[in-house]
């Protein structure tokens, strides 16, 4: 190899080495950031149900986990909110079927429960936003599983920055009695939810809020 051929290679080496070090530093920083974020996330997944210290105008329950709807109905029956939105109901679900799931609350379902057919947490938030605006509410109790609560709160908070959100996490027996890292299914669930939480934060930085509110998308049983 001649001196003329060696010079371009040496030149490339001079800027490739710093670039490689910079990329390595960025990779380490990303790992540290994600690891620290995961520790924060796990620390914010409640292991015990909370005692509400205030009432709210409305209650929303995001479906998908055992006992969420029943817990939300208990809050409604106790007068913690004026109406309940069940967000994430299947499109074939009717108020009658909801009443069968919560025996003893049939009259409450008939008068004070609305259904929204969201299919994911983003739609949960936008549907809840429509419902809140239609009802003129200013505060909301949010009922969902404890591991789902961090992501639910940021999604709802983005859609409704002017609404007071009060979390009411539903804690599963497994999270209450077992250490999550000792159970492969539970650990997979926590890691998956953290990944979705991080993705939601990144998406919110580049994606504007949804468009105009269409109040017709939420189906109510009765007008208050």
58-218 sits in which CATH class?
A: alpha beta
The phi, psi pair for 143, rounded to 5°, reads -110, 120
Integer distance in angstroms from the first to the last C-alpha of the chain? 86
* Averaged pLDDT, 23-51: 65
Residue 48 has pLDDT above 90, yes or no: no
* Rounded percentage of the chain residues whose pLDDT exceeds 90: 37
- Residue in the structure block whose two tokens are 């804690």: 171
Supply the pLDDT for residue 216: 39
State the pLDDT confidence band at 166, using cuts at 50, 70 and 90: very high
Instruction: Return the structure tokens found at 125.
Output: 């938030």
Say which residue the tokens 């429960």 belong to: 113
At 222 the pLDDT is: 41
* Tokens (6 digits) for 137: 């509410």
pLDDT at 163 over 70: yes
Cα–Cα distance, 150 to 42 (Å, whole number): 10
Give yes or no for residue 81 having a pLDDT over 90.
yes
Q: Check residues 40 and 31 and name the one with the higher pLDDT.
A: 40
pLDDT tens figures, 134-161:
999 999 999 998 888 999 999 999 999 9
pLDDT tier, 212 (very low <50, low <70, confident <90, very high otherwise): very low
Residue 25, pLDDT above cutoff 80: no
Residue 218 has pLDDT above 50, yes or no: no
Helix (H) or strand (E) segment spanning residue 187:
helix 184-206
Beta strands in 126-221 (DSSP E): 139-145, 164-170, 219-220
pLDDT classification of 213: cutoffs 50, 70, 90: very low
Residue 4: pLDDT over 60 = no
pLDDT tens string 83-98:
999 999 888 888 888 8
Residue 110 or residue 36, greater confidence: 110
């Amino acid at each position: 190899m001649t001196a003329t051929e060696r010079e371009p290679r040496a030149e490339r080496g001079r800027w490739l080495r710093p670039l490689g070090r910079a990329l390595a530093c960025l990779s380490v920083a990303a790992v540290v950031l994600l690891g620290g974020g995961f520790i924060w996330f796990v620390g914010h997944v409640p292991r015990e149900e909370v005692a509400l210290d205030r009432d709210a105008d409305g209650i929303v329950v995001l479906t998908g986990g055992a006992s969420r709807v029943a817990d939300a109905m208990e809050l409604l029956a106790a007068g913690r909110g004026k109406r309940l939105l069940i967000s994430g109901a299947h499109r074939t679900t009717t108020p009658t079927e909801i009443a069968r799931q919560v025996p003893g609350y049939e009259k409450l379902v008939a008068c004070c429960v609305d259904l929204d057919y969201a299919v994911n947490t983003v739609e949960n938030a936008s549907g809840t936003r429509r419902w809140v605006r239609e009802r003129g509410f200013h505060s909301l109790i949010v009922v969902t599983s404890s591991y789902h609560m961090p992501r639910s709160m940021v999604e709802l908070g983005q859609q409704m920055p002017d609404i007071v959100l009060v979390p009411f996490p539903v804690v599963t027996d497994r999270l209450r009695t077992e250490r999550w890292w000792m159970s492969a299914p539970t650990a997979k669930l926590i890691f998956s939810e953290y990944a979705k939480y991080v993705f939601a934060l990144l998406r919110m930085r580049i994606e504007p809020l949804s468009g105009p509110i269409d109040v017709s998308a939420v189906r109510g049983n009765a007008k208050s």
